[in-house]
Amino acid sequence: MSKKALMVWGGWAGHEPKECVDVFAPILADDGFEVDVRDSMDIYTDEDYMSQLSVVVPCWTMGTIEKEQEQGLTKAIQSGVGLAGWHGGMCDAFRNNTNYQWMTGANWVSHPGGVRDYEVNILPEMKDDPIVAGLSDFKMHSEQYYLHVDPSNEVLVTTTFDGDPAPWVAGCVMPVVWKRMWGEGRVFYSSLGHKAVDFDVPEAKEIQRRGIHWAAR
């Protein structure tokens, strides 16, 4: 039986949620997933539907989520459905919902300097993890996310801030990619993916693809 992926997009249009989902929907379909793309979070309240999923891929920056929607999502993940997302579509969503932030493992704070050039580094001790195996450090021209991060995350990839334009964070090593658990559910996140063009970087796309696979039960 094929795995089932629910992709839900919406929120702030600046992060190109539909365009980003359109990058990964055909990739997942080619990988054998049954892919369902929605532009409403009402589906989260359908407990029977949610229980049949392998993974939820959210792409919804900022915005608000209704109590019943949040409860439906968090319950599904806690019961074993995977969660895998990127950038603001997962970790800059629903800023008033701290339980959601706890589930995802972080909350966005800033991106000093806006779109800029920076390096992404795979932790040497994690180089054999299936999500990053065979990949090397790489460059991005995008937003370098500064996040408030849960210390229980299992970090795979980091970036180091050079202090421009915020010298007080020079040398700060920030997680970029991690995995974690929420109850029985696997949770994956990558802070890459400000716009769809970011996934033209092969490593950024492949890490996200592998992360979705890892999270899917």
Per-residue pLDDT for the chain (217 aa), expressed as one digit of tens each? 789 999 999 999 999 999 999 999 999 999 999 999 999 999 999 999 999 999 999 999 999 999 999 999 999 999 999 999 999 999 999 999 999 999 999 999 999 999 999 999 999 999 999 999 999 999 999 999 999 999 999 999 999 999 999 999 999 999 999 999 999 999 999 999 999 999 999 999 999 999 999 999 9
Burial (CB count <10 Å: 0-12, 13-18, 19+), residue 206: middle
| Nearest in space to 59 (alpha carbons), one of 39, 44, 45, 81 | 39
Nearest Cα to 179, choosing from 216, 135, 205, 140? 216
Distances in Å between the Cα of 188 and the Cα atoms of 13, 14, 21, 141 are 23, 22, 16, 22
Q: Which of 161, 156, 160, 149 is nearest to 207 (CA)?
A: 156
Q: Which residue intervals of the chain are DSSP H helices?
A: 17-30, 47-51, 67-78, 87-91, 98-104, 202-215
Q: How many CB atoms lie within 10 A of CB 181?
A: 14
State the pLDDT at residue 124. Answer: 98
Q: What is the DSSP string of 136-172?
A: --EEEEEE--EEEE-TT-EEEEEEE---SS-GGGTT-
Q: What is the DSSP-derived secondary structure letter of residue 93?
A: B
Structural domain including 57 reads 4-215
Residue 1 has a pLDDT of 72
pLDDT at 198: 98
pTM for this entry: 0.98
**How many domains does the structure of the chain reveal?**
1
CATH number at residue 50: 3.40.50.880
Q: In whole angstroms, what is the distance from residue 54 CA to residue 52 CA?
A: 7
Taking the CA atoms of the chain, what radius of gyration do you get in angstroms? 16
Q: The tokens of 37 are what?
A: 């793309």
Question: What pLDDT does 76 receive?
Answer: 98
CB 96 within 8 A of CB 65: no
